[in-house]
Amino acid sequence: MAEPSAPAPTANEEEKGPSKRALEKAAKKAAAKAKKAEHALRPKEQAKPSTKSEPTSIFSEGWLKRIYEEKPVSEVRTRFPPEPNGFLHIGHAKAIAVDFGFAKHHNGKCYLRYDDTNPEKEDEIYFTAILDIVKWLGFEPSKITYSSDNFDKLYELAEQLINKDGAYVCHCSREEINNQRGGPDNRGKRYACAHRTRPIEESITEFRAMRDGKYQAGEAFLRMKQKLPDPDEGNPQMWDLPAYRVVKENHHHRTGDKWRIYPTYDFTHCICDALEGITHSMCTVEFRQSRISYDWLLEQLDMKVPKSEEKGPMQREFGRLSVGGTILSKRRILQLVEGTTVEKKNADGTVETKKVAPAVRGWDDPRLFTMVALRRRGIPAKAMLNFVDELGVTDALSEIEPPRFEASIRKHLERTVPRQMLVLDPIKVIIEDFATEDEQEIIVPYDPKGAIPGKRNVKVGSAVYIDRTDFREEDSADYFRLAPNKAVGLYNVPFAIRATSFSKDESGKVTEIKAVKVPGAEKPKAYIQWVDASTAVPVTARLYNSLFKTESPNTLDWKTGGWADDLNPNSEIIYQDAVIERGIKDLISETSLDLSGSSDALVRFQALRTAYFCVDIDSTEDKIVLNQIVSLREDKGK
């Protein structure tokens, strides 16, 4: 194609010739033209594949990578060792992900070990619930073990430790032992009791007497002979810890009444790790000081080479996961679940009894942060693991606020669950000029962005329900939803509606709205969710807020029940008469719904402009119950 000719030079240019600036400009233009022509003659390069990186595994870099490099064994073996005296909480999700994930990453094994050394507080329901949560998170233990598997061996090793002059039987009271260890704050003068120097044979005799029932609970302890008298030893975990104690309620769920004495955590844990061949014993940072006593005991029993990781397990500590604004302590959650009775002594010597009622319906109440509660609330297992991965693993405390947790869950739900229209507080709207031919079935995708497959049929009829919050009796310039003589759009409907009148009951509550269709050329400024009145499905919807008013409930009075005064009265808001589109029944029929709540096969969806919800286990064929999972990021003014 011919290039357009240059304009004719002016008379002045003919006389003087082109300027230096004009020549430079022409040269640049010619060079650009030549480069463009050369580029056009080159063969086109193939498009390069996307190099978008995959999320980096928490096990292939950072703290967990360094832990493996400290002990790079060919067969990794870890363990998750919960005490079966309560339900797991959100902090345990991180421990499960670390213990099982670390083993899986290195093609190793992870055991689930129940630390069942406290028969007074253990219950079969907790054993079942712990395994249930491990499996719910997607892990399968290589082996299930119990500390009680080793009771005979532990006793044998205790006598062995005594014979090595590494333990002694002490008859001091708990108060006396605390005083020997420096008092309540561990800062006072430390000293050894007279029993510390008793002959080895005498300690053996007394230990067997403990075993045979001679002593009651609190009358005798087997204590490890560590470094209590050493003024230079600043670690309380080396101040002659108890190894065995007599318990009052000695019946054990597995060993029956065989044992009257039971080993402590500090004696049991490291030995069981060694007996099971655990290579990497990972726990949270509150056990950091325990690493010294952990290694000391194994070295005393020749189960670990001193100052070496070549033999025996290696303990390392990562930062625990804690959530602000909630309670994770088992003892305190028990008060919330069961209530409590407290006694107050008055000045005149009389005792006043006060009963504090339960604050929640059970350990799985969605307002709690136990794992069974989070599962019932609808948190997906995959989202929980993603959250742990986002936080990463270091030796620093991971203390997060609920909004950060909810943002992570919301991000997962946004790309994985279908959309539905839910009306929490319905008002019926009659479209007066709706003709028979206007009735139709519209096909609406589960996700307008197409990320989630599937569609549903939505009926458009002459009467619809809208939410009470989407109607005002008096209009204003800054309000864009339904009001007298103001139009609003209905999601996915080809026409908008304008309110013409409304009715009220005796209390002044709006009960019905009359409306007309708005011509298609008149575009509304806002769209709202709605539900066809003839096909609406009645549901009960539960919305959740923080259980406490304060952001620091752990600072409340948990001794005399004062925490009850800080309960948030709006922690659970129930809409008994909510309605949802009929598509919810299709979602339920398409999902292998496990009403026990023990699987991840819950019906979850995004209720447009409202929140994310799941179908609760309280649902029946006659009434569906919904739990709010997390809220939406929605501008309430629109």
Mean pLDDT along residues 108-136 = 96
Residue tagged 């402590």 (tokens): 264
Helix (H) or strand (E) holding 344: strand 340-345
Q: 258: how many CB neighbours lie within 10 A of its CB?
A: 12
Q: What is the CATH number of the domain that holds 250?
A: 3.40.50.620
In a domain, 542, yes or no: yes
Length of the chain in terms of residues written: 638
In a domain, 451, yes or no: yes
Quick one: 408 and 454 in the same domain?
no
Mean pLDDT along residues 142-163 = 98
Task: Indicate if the pLDDT at residue 12 is higher than 50.
Answer: no
In a domain, 384, yes or no: yes
As beta bridge partners, residue 80 has 112
In a domain, 12, yes or no: no
Mean pLDDT, the chain, integer: 89
Quick one: 75 and 163 in the same domain?
yes
DSSP 8-state symbol, 299: H
Give the domain-ending residue among 490, 520, 535.
535
Mean pLDDT along residues 46-65 = 63
Phi, psi of 185 (to 5 degrees): -100, 5
Residue 171 buriedness (CB in 10 A; 0-12 / 13-18 / 19+): middle
CA atoms in the 13 A half-sphere facing the CB of 585:
14
In a domain, 48, yes or no: no
Quick one: 72 and 193 in the same domain?
yes
Distance separating alpha carbons of residues 381 and 614, to the nearest angstrom: 14
Quick one: 391 and 304 in the same domain?
no
**In sequence order, which residues have a C-beta less than 8 Å from that of residue 451 and are 6 or more positions away?**
415
Quick one: 99 and 183 in the same domain?
yes
Quick one: 147 and 203 in the same domain?
yes
Task: Indicate if the pLDDT at residue 40 is higher than 50.
Answer: no
Q: Strand, coil or helix: what is 86?
A: coil
Give the domain-ending residue among 501, 535, 569.
535
**In sequence order, which residues have a C-beta less than 8 Å from that of residue 511 and are 6 or more positions away?**
427, 428, 503, 504, 505
Q: What is the CATH number of the domain that holds 508?
A: 2.40.240.10
Q: How many structural domains compose the chain?
A: 3
Instruction: Tell me the three-class secondary structure of 471-522, residue by residue.
Output: ECCCCCCCCCCEEECEEEEECCCCCEEEEEEEEECCCCCEEEEEEEEECCCC
User: How would you classify the pairing of strands 167-170 and 221-224?
Assistant: antiparallel
Task: Indicate if the pLDDT at residue 598 is higher than 80.
Answer: no
Where in the sequence is the domain holding 111, given as residue range(s)? 62-318
As beta bridge partners, residue 444 has 456
**In sequence order, which residues have a C-beta less than 8 Å from that of residue 533 and are 6 or more positions away?**
428, 461, 463, 464, 465
Using alpha carbons, list the distances in angstroms from residue 257 to 84, 157, 261. Answer: 19, 21, 10
pTM of the model: 0.86
| 191-205, 397-411, 451-465, 596-610: segment of lowest average pLDDT | 596-610
Beta carbons of 217 and 246 less than 8 angstroms apart: yes
Mean pLDDT along residues 240-267 = 96
Beta carbons of 580 and 512 less than 8 angstroms apart: no
Task: Indicate if the pLDDT at residue 389 is higher than 60.
Answer: yes
**In sequence order, which residues have a C-beta less than 8 Å from that of residue 187 and are 6 or more positions away?**
none
Quick one: 244 and 392 in the same domain?
no
In a domain, 73, yes or no: yes
Distance separating alpha carbons of residues 129 and 371, to the nearest angstrom: 9
Task: Indicate if the pLDDT at residue 250 is higher than 60.
Answer: yes
Q: Which of 60, 63, 105, 116 is nearest to 317 (CA)?
A: 63
Task: Indicate if the pLDDT at residue 138 is higher than 50.
Answer: yes
**In sequence order, which residues have a C-beta less than 8 Å from that of residue 336 and are 6 or more positions away?**
327, 358, 359, 360, 368, 547
Quick one: 304 and 334 in the same domain?
no
Task: Indicate if the pLDDT at residue 562 is higher than 70.
Answer: yes
Write down the pLDDT at residue 29: 58
Q: Which residues are catalytic?
A: 83, 320, 330
In a domain, 3, yes or no: no
Task: Indicate if the pLDDT at residue 549 is higher than 70.
Answer: yes
* 606-638: b (≥16 Cβ within 10 Å) or e: bbbbbbbbbbbbbbeeeebbbbbbbeeeeeeee
Quick one: 494 and 610 in the same domain?
no
Mean pLDDT along residues 540-544 = 98
Write down the pLDDT at residue 27: 54
Write down the pLDDT at residue 18: 47
Q: For residue 589, give both structure tokens.
A: 């029929």
3-class SS shares of the chain: helix, strand, coil, % to 5? 30, 25, 45
In a domain, 529, yes or no: yes
DSSP 8-state symbol, 267: H
Residue 254 buriedness (CB in 10 A; 0-12 / 13-18 / 19+): middle
Distance separating alpha carbons of residues 490 and 495, to the nearest angstrom: 7
Distance separating alpha carbons of residues 590 and 421, to the nearest angstrom: 18
Quick one: 304 and 182 in the same domain?
yes
pLDDT in tens, 355-373: 999 999 999 999 999 999 9
Task: Indicate if the pLDDT at residue 548 is higher than 50.
Answer: yes
Give the domain-ending residue among 266, 289, 318.
318
Distance separating alpha carbons of residues 442 and 40, to the nearest angstrom: 50
Q: Which of 94, 51, 54, 59 is nearest to 76 (CA)?
A: 59
Mean pLDDT along residues 139-162 = 98
Dihedral (CA of 464, 468, 470, 472) sign = positive
Residue tagged 């561990």 (tokens): 186
Quick one: 417 and 439 in the same domain?
no
Write down the pLDDT at residue 57: 81
Quick one: 451 and 470 in the same domain?
yes
| 33-47, 59-73, 194-208, 567-581: segment of lowest average pLDDT | 33-47
